Amino acid sequence: MGAYHAGVKVAAAYPGTPSTEILESIARFDDIHAEWSTNEKVAMEVALGAAYAGVRAMASMKQVGLNVASDPFMAASTTGINAGMVVVSADDPGAHSSQGEQDNRHYAKLAKVPMLEPSDSQEAYEFMAHAFDLSERFDTPVLVRTTTRIAHSKSVVKVSRSRSVPTSQPGFQHDATKYVMLPVHARLRHPLMEERLVKLSAYAETFPLNQILWGERHLGVMTSGVAYQYAREVFPKVSFLKLGMTYPLPQNLLRHFASQVERLIVIEELDPFLQENIQAMGIKVTGKEFIPRLGELNPDIVEETSRSAGLLAGSSPRQVETAAELPGRPPLLCPGCPHTGIFFVLSSIGQRAKLAKAKDKTPKESKLIITGDIGCYTLGAYPPLLAMDTCACMGASIGQALGMEKAGVSNKVVAVIGDSTFLHSGITGLVNAVYNQGQITIIILDNGTTAMTGHQEHPATGVSAQGKETKKVELEQLVQGIGVNDVKVVDAFALKALRTSVRSSLSNPELSVIIVRGACSVRVPKRGEPRAIDAERCNLCDACLLLGCSAIQRENEQIYIDTALCVGDACTVCQQLCPRQAIVPQSEIVSKEAK
C-alpha cells in the first residue's frame, strides 16, 4: 500500500519468506504491472529497466534473494536511475524459513546506497514514500530492509495518502555515459557514487525518520527496526535515537546524542552493523558485548541481557518456568503430498530408513547421493524419509550433483529440484550438466505451483501474478531443448512407475531427467474417499509409517488413518505400498463392519 500510494508502476519479485506478501498485496491493484519474475535477479533487472524508463519501480525479495540479485543491484547503484527505484530485502533473523541468517544491511554499505528500516506496519507504509523520494533526489536505488518480525506482524496503519502517479509518458533518455557501463563510463560513475554518499550523509542529519526521543539521560539507546520496539518496552524511560535511515549514518546527530547521555548502547539484531559504523566515527558505544548476534531478538532477551550488563536494576521480577520437555512438532510434507512417493522410492534404495523392529541386515545396494534444493521437498530430509543429502541454495542441486560425479564418487548421484526452483536457477545448471557430459539423474518435482511460500504462480503454470492467463513454459520441451535425450514424465502417485523410472534412469549411462508430476495436495479441491486400515489384515509391520504421512498415526498399538486428513483417491500411495493389502477405501471397512 505504501508503494502503491507512492505511485509505483512496476513491481517485480520472486516469492520468498518473509517477502512474498508484498507482491501478492500489490498485485491486486489493476493499474500497476506486478509480476512474479523467474528469479530475483530478473526481478531486479525488470525494476531497473522500468526505473530507467521513467516510472517508479520496486523489486522485493527475501534476504538470500538479494544474493541472487546482487549483480544488477550493484549495477543499479553504479548507473543510478531515472524514476525512483526501491529494493525491499526481507531478512529472516532466527532463520525461521531460510537457509541462513545473513544480515543484508551490509549490502547497503557494499553497494553505497541509502537504507531505510521500518519498525512496524505504519512505518513500512510511510517509509515507502520517503524511499522513492530519496531515490529520485539522489539518483540511487534505495534499500528498504525489513525483518520477519516486521514482515510477519500486523499493526494498525493510518493511511494518510492517496495514489499519485506522474502524468508524463514513460520514456527513456538515451545517455550512454550513464546507462552503458563500459569500463570507461563505469570509472566516471564511481566518483559520483562517492559524492552521492557524502550528500546522503549530510541529508541524513535532518532526515525526519531519524529521531531523538529524549528521556532520562543516564542511558542513550541507538536502535532501528523491530529492535526499537523491544528496547522501548524494556527501557520505557531512557533516551532514544531511533534511526529510520541506517545507512549512511548522520554523524553530527550521533555525536550530539552521544554527548548528551551518560552511557550509550546500540540494540540491534544480528551483526553489529550500527555499532561498528558508530565506533568507526570514534564514538564509544557498546551493544554486542551483551546483546546476542545470533538469532532473533525479543523483549525477554533484551531485558535479560541488559540486566546482566548492569543496565537494569535488580533481579528479574517474574519467576518464569522454562519450556517443558515435549516432543517437537517439525513441519511435514502434507498428507497427499506429491513428493512423498518419489522420496519413499529414493529412500528405499540403499535402505535409508529402517523400521525400529527390522532385523539389521546390510542393504543389498549402496545409498544414492541425493543433492537437494529449496522448497517444501527439503522436508524429505527429515525422518522417516531421510532422502536428501544436501541443500544449499536455490538451484544448487544440479551443479552439486555434477560436481560429485566429476569428483569420482562411486555412488549414483541424483539431483532433486522443484518446478519453480528449476525455473528460478536450475536451468543453467542443467545446461551446464548437458554440456559437460554429466551422467547424473535430475528429478524435477512438478507440483504446478510454488508451494512452500504459499502457492504462487510461475512460468510453467501459465498464469500471471495478477491471475491472467499467459504463455506456459512446458518443462519437458524445455529439458529436451537443452539436449537431454532421456526425459520421462511420471505420475507422482504411481509408486510402481516411480520405482521403474528411477531404476531405468539410474542404469542409463547418459544424463537423464525425470519429471514427477502431481498437484500440490493443498490445491486439490476434491479429496475423494479417504483410505482406512483393515485392522484384521494389518500385522503392524509399520511399513506405511515410513512414508511419513501425517494422516497415518499410531495410538495404543494400533495404526489408523485420520480420515479428516487423508486426501483419499487422489493419492493412495500407502495403499499401493501396504504388503498385506490392509489399506482400503473407507467404505469397504464400513460395509464389512455392517455385515
Partner 1 sequence: MKKLDLLVTGAGGQGIILASDIIGETAIAAGYDVKKTDTLGMAQRGGSVISNVRIARQVWSPLIKKGEVDILLALEKLEAARWAYYLRSGGIAIVNNQALPPLSVSLGNARYPSDEEIANILKKRTDRVFFIDGTRRARELGNIRTLNIFMLGCASLFTPFKVQAWKDSISQRLPASIRQINITAFDRGRKEMQGARL
**Is 416 a residue that touches partner 1 (CB under 8 A)?**
no
The C-alpha cell 495410538 sits at 555
Among 216, 300, 474, 536, binds partner 1 (CB under 8 A): 300
**Is 28 a residue that touches partner 1 (CB under 8 A)?**
no
Dig out the grid coordinates for 381 from the structure.
Answer: 530430509
**Site mask for partner 1 (CB under 8 A), range 210-239, x = bound:** ----------------x--xx-xx------
Q: Which residues contact 76 (CB under 8 A, 6 or more apart)?
A: 44, 48, 51, 85, 87, 141
DSSP string, 195-255: HHHHHHHHHHTT-TTEEEE--EEEEEEEE-HHHHHHHHHH-SSEEEEEESEEES--HHHHH
User: For residues 264 and 285, is the Cβ–Cβ distance under 8 A?
Assistant: yes
User: For residues 84 and 74, is the Cβ–Cβ distance under 8 A?
Assistant: no
Crossing angle of helices 340-348 and 495-507, in 10° steps, is: 50
Among 155, 177, 437, 480, binds partner 1 (CB under 8 A): 155
**Is 158 a residue that touches partner 1 (CB under 8 A)?**
no
Half-sphere exposure in the Cβ direction for 194 (13 Å, CA): 5
We find the least distance from the C-beta atom of residue 451 to partner 1, in angstroms, to be 6
**How far is 260 from 122, CA to CA, in rounded Å?**
29
Among 86, 265, 452, 538, binds partner 1 (CB under 8 A): 452
DSSP string, 193-207: HHHHHHHHHHHHTT-
We find the least distance from the C-beta atom of residue 549 to partner 1, in angstroms, to be 9
**Is 133 a residue that touches partner 1 (CB under 8 A)?**
no
The C-alpha cell 517474574 sits at 318
**Which one of 109-117, 148-156, 208-216, 476-484 is the stretch in contact with partner 1 (CB under 8 A)?**
148-156
We find the least distance from the C-beta atom of residue 214 to partner 1, in angstroms, to be 18
**Is 156 a residue that touches partner 1 (CB under 8 A)?**
yes
Q: Are strands 512-517 and 486-491 parallel, antiparallel or unpaired?
A: parallel
Among 383, 474, 480, 508, binds partner 1 (CB under 8 A): 383
Residues 113 to 132: which contact partner 1 by CB under 8 A?
120
C-alpha distances out from residue 264 to 219, 398, 459, 574, Å: 6, 50, 51, 62
**Is 586 a residue that touches partner 1 (CB under 8 A)?**
no
**Which one of 3-11, 153-161, 203-211, 529-537 is the stretch in contact with partner 1 (CB under 8 A)?**
153-161
Dig out the grid coordinates for 519 from the structure.
Answer: 498437484
Q: Which is nearer to partner 1, 262 or 562 (CB)?
A: 562
Among 102, 305, 378, 512, binds partner 1 (CB under 8 A): 378
Q: Which is nearer to partner 1, 202 or 522 (CB)?
A: 522
Q: Which is nearer to partner 1, 329 or 468 (CB)?
A: 329
Dig out the grid coordinates for 388 from the structure.
Answer: 536428501
We find the least distance from the C-beta atom of residue 355 to partner 1, in angstroms, to be 9
We find the least distance from the C-beta atom of residue 123 to partner 1, in angstroms, to be 12
**Is 152 a residue that touches partner 1 (CB under 8 A)?**
yes
Among 158, 174, 237, 329, binds partner 1 (CB under 8 A): 329
Q: Which residues contact 583 (CB under 8 A, 6 or more apart)?
A: 531, 532, 533, 534, 544, 561, 574, 575, 577
Residues 453 to 472: which contact partner 1 by CB under 8 A?
454
Estimate to the nearest angstrom the gap between the alpha carbon of 321 and the chain centroid. 33
We find the least distance from the C-beta atom of residue 142 to partner 1, in angstroms, to be 25
Decide: helix, strand or coil at residue 428: helix
Chain residues binding partner 1 by CB under 8 A are 17, 96-97, 120, 149, 152-156, 226, 229-230, 232-233, 298-300, 303, 318-324, 326-335, 356, 376, 378-379, 383-384, 451-452, 454, 520, 522, 545, 548, 550, 552-555, 564
